[in-house]
Structure 1
Amino acid sequence: MDRDPDLSYSDRFGRRNMEYISLGCDNLPILHGRSPIQAYADFVRNFRDTFRPFLGSIVTGIQVGLGPGGELRYPSYPTQKLTWARQSGELGEFQCYDKYMLASLNAHAWKRGMHEWTNAGPIGSSNLMQNPENTDFFRTDGSWKTPYGEFFLEWYSGMLLLHGERICKEVKAIFHGIEVSMSGKVGGIYWHYGTQSHPSELTAGYYNTSTRDGFLPIARMFGRYGFSICCACLEMQDSEGQQMNATSSPEGFLKQLLLAARVCDIPLEGENSATNFDDTLFQQVLKTSKFYSDGPRTPPFSFNFVRMDKNLFEYHNWASFTRFMRQMSDVNSFQGKLGFGGDTTLSSPSAAAYSGAVVA
């Protein structure tokens, strides 16, 4: 990237993000004669060969990196700033200004016979921190609804979907015949879900608006390759998000994503976004689990409790956690015991077939 800065994403201000190679050069031989997709496939193949004795026994699931922070999205917000973006309600920036993305946009516009659309991304998306209703592109009657807006957003989201498809296809072939589950992660971007245009989702590459389902195509893509879909923020409530931003709706975002997964009959893997041990968090996860799992023949649901620390083992936190595990597993004999100054014991029968919790 030092030799060719255009390998990294760039926004309209020329700010570059070095977190991930621009998907505009997915199939170009820019890495000593190999494409980024070929290099990633070699890495995955080496992982498979190195850990083959453990695959299917100790290693039973693999989450495939698809973008910044491992998620299938553009770095419209740097990963290290995602918490700030949620709190401040940033709109994000379209990441289409490196020469490879611009070349793709140019070719797509010429193919459509719209030569005037070849130069750059949307005009009028304005500043990161601005109210979307004060922008020409994102406001309720903005240019996101015009033929140009639809053209650009279809191309921008389509490039992201194609990137995910390329990686999933390679990984499926590499692990063919090996008993491991595979999953891909979608970014939990919900802080403008209550608007018409959903600007923070659009800049991340999800063409999801009040009139268009942007998550169903992603779920279908994962389903074609036997992948589960993973997302975070399962503990988030609208009341919490709306304290910082009135248009935030983590519950609305999750409900739509869960419905897309159910329609496509693919398993769902959930994670928490924050480290919190109160019953409110756990009850929200249970509520989400029940919403997804209700009904006959629903795909499996699992919850991965991440960001553990020593506070988990404080008496009240441990009591809440073991109660949550018992409810997730639906096993009455689950017992957790914490003895200060003595041994800690935890025992449980196997979890229910379609619902479970994982500690990481």
Structure 2
Amino acid sequence: MMLAALGLVVAGAGTAQAAPADGPVPPGPVALDDPEFTANVMAPLKVETDEEWADFEADLETVAAYGVDAVSVDVWWGDVEAAGDNQFDWAYYDRIFDVITSKGLDLAPILSFHQCGGNVGDDYTSLLPSWLWPKYEGRSYRGVELGPTGLQHRSEQGNYSPETVQGWADQVVMNEYRDFTRAFQQRYGDRYADEVVEINVSLGPSGELRYPSYNGHDVGTGYPTRGALQSYSPLAIRDFQKSMVKQYGSLRAVNRAWGTDLRSVDQIAPPADAETFFTSKAYSDTQYGRDFVDWYNGSLVDHGERVLTTVIRTLGNEFPQADIGYKVPGIHWTMTNPLHPRATEVTTGLIQTSVDENSWATGHGYARIVELANRFDGGPREVVMHFTALEMDDQDYPPQYSLAQTLVQWIGDYAFRAGVELKGENALSGGVTWDGGWDNINEAFDGWGYLGLTVLRMNDVAGGTGATRYAQFIQKYSPDR
């Protein structure tokens, strides 16, 4: 394809306009005595043996005693609907919800439309329903005939990911999300009308709003690399083509903006040489690069809006106490790598490069991701954003070039500016078993506007330092418990 050697790197396109000078707006300790403050824990990915059930019940009693509110539980699509399309088995969730509520704790279920297994901390495997892929094979959408991998992301390496359905196929499978959500509310809407206090919605791999850019289907893309772009499926390419023609009005105008001589809309494509696209800094320094990244990021946010809208509408008036949550990961590495700064945030789809990524006014590129929550203003439910990595330090040196703690501050600042309710999590199980992690969490809550915490995982705060520090944390922010 054209300009293959340069990966569609276009010269002479100029640089993005810088935002006006600005500075941080630390929101302070907004959680203090706020009735919206929540302190939750995550259940194991799956409780299986009798011994595990016994340990689980003991841990529930411990955390309930020092003030934890609710337990977050993955409701695995691949488990519940494994037997066949619209054949639901809720037996496990009947049991675990009953056990949790019997200890006086509320429920924060996650509608987990993603695969479990293969990511950091996964000690359980639940694949997406096996009937899903063949059900849609052979169908056409937007002029693309779907093959056996037609619903999956395809990476710059040419590999397909079965962990989630790609956002560019949302309209094909939205009825599946609707059916699952309806079955969930029909099963539990009356039984746990008041105990379900938040419903989180999986919007990507690991339940996070991101692309599978550093996952196992690609080679050499794990931490702390830049990862891999995931926009090479036929559906993604078709969407990019249509979006660029719509944005500019014609192929001729696209060529004028990019400095190219494309002769057909079919030649509009993601970077043919992704490595050069990043090492040349075309992703931020050319009009083509900024347009591509804007589309990539915007596609992710639009996917989030579509799925959240479907879930909210399907729930109707059930679970009247429940907010809706979505999770954004703290992609904190490669942020200052001189070869390609902020590249991993680009490949995961989290930031724009058409804005000043160094500006507080743009959320350092995160504005659209954070403001997804505001697309539901005036709706029937509060939409809450959860952000990970609250326990981590900055490690601004090779090979990680990490600004994890700084990133937590950036997100807190921008969520406050945007009026978005923000809650936090630790990124890694074990991150709350040492005082340093808790010191960082306290700093995030003291200065940067976080309103609730969900700890990964419950067993890490059922004894030792984790239990002591979480109990102190809860008493600090909600002393009347």
The TM-score by the shorter chain falls in which range? 0.7 to 0.9
1:191 aligns with 2:325: no
1:48 aligns with 2:198: no
1:156 partner SS: helix
Cα deviations by residue, 1:131-180 (Å, 9 ceiling, x for unpaired):
xxxxx322475353211111111111111111111112222223344221
How far apart, CA to CA, are the structure 1 residues paired with 2:179 and 2:411?
31
Aligned twin of 2:458? 308
Distance 1:73-1:332 versus aligned 2 partners, 3 A rule: closer
Aligned twin of 2:467? 321
Moved >4 Å (runs of 4+) = 311-314
How large is the Cα RMSD of the aligned pairs?
2.8
Q: CA deviation at 1:313?
A: 5.2
Percent sequence identity over aligned pairs: 23
Counterpart AA for 1:228 = V
Long gaps (5+) in structure 1? 28-34, 127-135, 294-299, 334-348, 351-360
1:98 aligns with 2:229: no
Question: Which of the numbers 330, 335, 346 marks the counterpart of 1:202?
Answer: 346
Long gaps (5+) in structure 2? 1-132, 138-147, 256-261, 377-381
2:232 partner SS: coil
1:254 partner SS: helix
Aligned twin of 1:218? 369
How far apart, CA to CA, are the structure 1 residues paired with 2:372 and 2:173?
20
Q: CA deviation at 1:119?
A: 4.0
CA contact (8 A) 1:144 1:197 kept: no
Matches within 5 A, 1:136-175: 136-139=276-279, 141-175=281-315
Matches within 5 A, 1:179-328: 179-195=321-337, 197-209=341-353, 211-212=356-357, 213=362, 214-225=365-376, 226-239=382-395, 242=396, 245-274=399-428, 275-276=430-431, 277-293=433-449, 301-309=451-459, 317-318=464-465, 321-328=467-474
Aligned twin of 1:65? 202
Counterpart AA for 1:211 = D
How far apart, CA to CA, are the structure 2 residues paired with 1:79 and 1:54?
39
How far apart, CA to CA, are the structure 2 residues paired with 1:125 and 1:194?
19
CA contact (8 A) 1:193 1:253 kept: no
How far apart, CA to CA, are the structure 2 residues paired with 1:64 and 1:79?
23
TM-score, normalised on structure 2?
0.58
How far apart, CA to CA, are the structure 1 residues paired with 2:447 and 2:456?
21
Aligned twin of 1:341? none
CA contact (8 A) 1:11 1:94 kept: yes
CA contact (8 A) 1:236 1:281 kept: yes
Q: CA deviation at 1:21?
A: 1.2
Distance 1:103-1:282 versus aligned 2 partners, 3 A rule: same
1:122 aligns with 2:271: yes
Question: Which of the numbers 161, 165, 179 marks the counterpart of 1:21?
Answer: 165
Distance 1:329-1:80 versus aligned 2 partners, 3 A rule: farther
How far apart, CA to CA, are the structure 2 residues paired with 1:105 and 1:208?
16
Cα deviations by residue, 1:59-111 (Å, 9 ceiling, x for unpaired):
11111111111111111122799xx833xx21111111111111111222333
